[in-house]
Amino acid sequence: MAEKKNRVDHDAAVVVIGLGRFGGSLAAELVVRGVEVLGVDSDSRNVQEFSGRLTHVVCADSTDPEALTQLGVAEFGRAVVGIGTDIESSILTTSILTDLGVSDIWAKAISRQHARILQRVGARHVVQPEADMGERVAHLVTGRMLDYVEVDEEYALIKTKAPGWAAGRTLGDLGIRTEYGVTVVAVKKPGEKFTYATSQTVIGSGDTLLVAGDTDQAERFSEET
C-alpha cells in the first residue's frame, strides 16, 4: 500500500478505481482542480506512478467487497470506475459500489453492451471515451468546424470561423437563428478571448464563433464559413 498522508473529506472527495490512461488522467485532473482523490488499482506499478500525486493511492482488488469496505469506499458520495478492458472486473466493481451505497457512480465502457450492463448494475453515468472521441473527430474531419462537442442527443456546441458574408454586420441584422436555427453564443476576435454574444455584437473578418444548436443545423452553418 502506498499513500499520501492527508485526511480525506469523504463528502467532497472522489474515489477513482482503475488508474490506467483514462482513470489516471482523470484522477490527476481532479486533484489539479482541488478535489481530494482516493486512487485504487490492483497493479502496483500504477499505484507507484500516482503515489504522491493523489490524496491517497492504494493497491487493492476492487472486485473484493471486503477490500473496498476496509478502504471506507462506502463513505464516498462519488466514484469513478476507470477499468475498461477487463469487462468482468468493471461490472463487478460497479455492482459492489452500488451495494455499498455509493450514489453517484461514473463508469467507463468499451462498448454499448458494456455500457448497458453498467447502467443496469448501478452506474449513473457511463462514458465511452474512445467512441465519443471517434465521433467528435469524425465531425471535425468531414466538416469545416474547428471543434465539436455533442452536449446532448442531436444537440451540439461547435467552434467555427465566421462566414465572410457576416463581416461588418451585427448578429441582430444577420438573423442567423432564423435562417439556420442555431444560436451564436460567443465571439472571439483574433488575439482576444471569447466574449458573450448579443444582438448588437458586430462580426469581424477572421472572428471565431461558438455556436449552439441542433447537430445537423450547426454543421450546416459551419459549412458557410
Indicate if the pLDDT at residue 24 is higher than 60. Answer: yes
Tens-place pLDDT, residues 194-221: 999 999 999 998 899 999 999 889 888 9
Cβ neighbours of 144 (radius 10 Å)? 12
Gap between the Cα atoms of 134 and 142, Å rounded: 12
Gap between the Cα atoms of 174 and 212, Å rounded: 16
Q: What is the pLDDT of residue 151?
A: 76
Query: Alpha carbon of 201 to those of 169, 174, 221: distances in Å?
Result: 8, 10, 18
Tens-place pLDDT, residues 127-177: 888 777 777 677 667 667 888 887 777 888 999 999 999 999 999 999 999
Q: What is the pLDDT of residue 150?
A: 77
Q: What is the pLDDT of residue 3?
A: 42
Q: What is the pLDDT of residue 5?
A: 39
Q: What is the pLDDT of residue 6?
A: 43
Task: Outline where the chain has alpha helix (H).
Answer: 21-32, 44-50, 65-70, 87-99, 112-120, 129-142, 171-174, 176-180, 215-222
Q: What is the pLDDT of residue 149?
A: 83
Tens-place pLDDT, residues 70-127: 999 999 989 999 997 899 999 999 999 999 999 899 999 998 899 999 999 999 999 8
Indicate if the pLDDT at residue 4 is higher than 50. Answer: no
- Entry field: residues in the chain: 225
Tens-place pLDDT, residues 191-201: 999 999 999 99
Indicate if the pLDDT at residue 225 is higher than 80. Answer: no
pLDDT band, residue 1 (cuts 50/70/90): very low
**Is the model more confident about 25 or about 139?**
25
Indicate if the pLDDT at residue 224 is higher than 80. Answer: no
